[in-house]
Amino acid sequence: MYIVNELTSDNLFLSKHLPDTVLNANQEIISDDVQLALEKISIKVHNKWDVLVLFSALNLLNAAIKNRQYKNRLSYQTIKGHATRIIGYCITAKSNKYLDEVFINKDENYCAYARCLGLQFSFHNIGKNDTINRFIDSPDNIIGSWDKIKLQPIASAIFRKAIELQLEKNKLCVKNQSINVPVLRSS
């Protein structure tokens, strides 16, 4: 069952990490962010921070494609294909450690809603495959509601903050792991 997990400090993404001035402003999307987002949509998922970066990248590309400057570099097929891939992967993960909530509303043009670290992303007209179709018809697909927070106007800020947090969390994970290095002995 994919219901919002217990609220932790990590789940308060918008209020904790993005100041009100950013939340209330339409931001210009810069070419460097678009290029980096194109690179990030193919990353492998190891933790929820990777999923946050992936969804943030897709959100940025979804915002950018509406701008004439990026129409020739981007395609909805690519964006929706990656959204379908990551949502399908998260659905089939043994324990849903990547998402707080996910549902797909076929009455809203197969709009997928995925909440990661408290931030709800939505993607309309996602692709359909066996995993997605099984999920749509399963009791695990509990239709919730949209948070009514439009992320595309602040896509760049969300994307940059997601990358910053991913780097911070991954550094912390590496720092806390003990590594056994074999000792070389001379003969």
- Residue 185 in any domain: the answer is no
Query: What's the pLDDT score for residue 169?
Result: 81
Rg (CA), the chain: 18
Query: What's the pLDDT score for residue 3?
Result: 34
Read off the pTM. Answer: 0.81
- Please list, in sequence order, all residues whose beta carbon lies within 8 angstroms of the beta carbon of residue 163, skipping any fewer than 6 positions away: 36, 40, 53, 56
Domain extent, residue 27, equals: 9-176
Structure tokens at 52: 């946050």
Query: What's the pLDDT score for residue 18?
Result: 60
Of 170, 164, 155, which is closest to residue 57 (Cα–Cα)? 155
Query: What's the pLDDT score for residue 104?
Result: 97
Query: What's the pLDDT score for residue 4?
Result: 35
- Residue 4 in any domain: the answer is no
Question: Is 135 exposed, middle or buried, given 0-12, 13-18 or 19+ CB atoms closer than 10 A?
Answer: buried
Of 148, 165, 116, which is closest to residue 18 (Cα–Cα)? 165
- Residue 186 in any domain: the answer is no
Query: What's the pLDDT score for residue 148?
Result: 87
Count structural domains, the chain. 1
pLDDT beneath 50, residues of the chain: 1-11, 21, 175-187
- Residue 1 in any domain: the answer is no
Query: What's the pLDDT score for residue 150?
Result: 87
- Residue 165 in any domain: the answer is yes
